[in-house]
Amino acid sequence: MAFLHLSSSLALKTTCRSALTPVPVTASSRPTQNSAKFPNWVLDFRSKSLNFAFSGALALGLSLSGVGVADAKVGVNKPELLPKEFTTVIDVAGFLSDGQEKRLAEEISDIEKDTGFKLRVLAQNYPDTPGLAIKDFWQVDDRTVVFVADPNFGNILNFNVGASVDLDIPRSFWSRLAGKYGNMFYWKEKGEDASIEAAVMAISSCLREPAGPNNCSEVK
């Protein structure tokens, strides 16, 4: 499973909130030549982190077991693979039937209406993926969960979680979700579509639970 928060801690958490917001250079930040350059370095790092989050993590991502940046597959950017009309479910791998896509889109719409959180699903088979182009297409922000289903990990369930979602949902939920519905034995026996549908319903149930110390303690 690729999960950006677990393998790259706060990459999306910092970038979604502040990568697009310049860090002001105040008088106190300019006592030396080196310190004057620091804010620009921070901005450059955050910008690169955001690009990696979507070109790397969405194209294939970092693995839960700790694969480093050098070992991650190279990110891609193929906007031509995006649908012409907006949809919350994009299946470039052909895992889902039209009926399944419709049901998932309806469930995702209900989640957003009821909770304010945005779930987006991309089914891909790397390197056949829109990759970085997803960010602008979906207007990904800190209230967005991007769920990438890609069997190239072994574990088919991969998540990129926005900062606001991360405040309400324990990070352990995502690893338990992947362990239950994303493992290779499950999706090879049940099918990629079954893993995707089960994961979406589990996320829906979790996001609807009241925030608290025990929320999302079970993967349903």
Categorize the per-residue pLDDT at 67 as very low, low, confident or very high, splitting at 50, 70 and 90: very low
Higher-pLDDT residue of 27 and 155 is: 155
119 DSSP β-pair partners: 145
pLDDT band at 154 (very low <50, low <70, confident <90, very high): confident
Average pLDDT (163-177) is 94
The domains found in the chain, sorted by start residue, are 4-20+28-66+74-208 (3.10.310.50)
Burial 130-151 (b: 16+ CB within 10 A, else e): bbbbbbebbebebbbbbbbbbb
What pTM does this model have? 0.72
Confidence of residue 37 (pLDDT cuts 50, 70, 90): very low
Average pLDDT, the chain: 76
Higher-pLDDT residue of 47, 112 = 112
Is residue 121 within 8 Å of 88, Cβ to Cβ? yes
**Per-residue pLDDT tens for 81-133?**
999 999 999 999 999 999 999 999 999 999 999 999 999 999 999 999 999 99
Give me the pLDDT at residue 73, please: 62
Residue predicted with more confidence, 74 or 89: 89
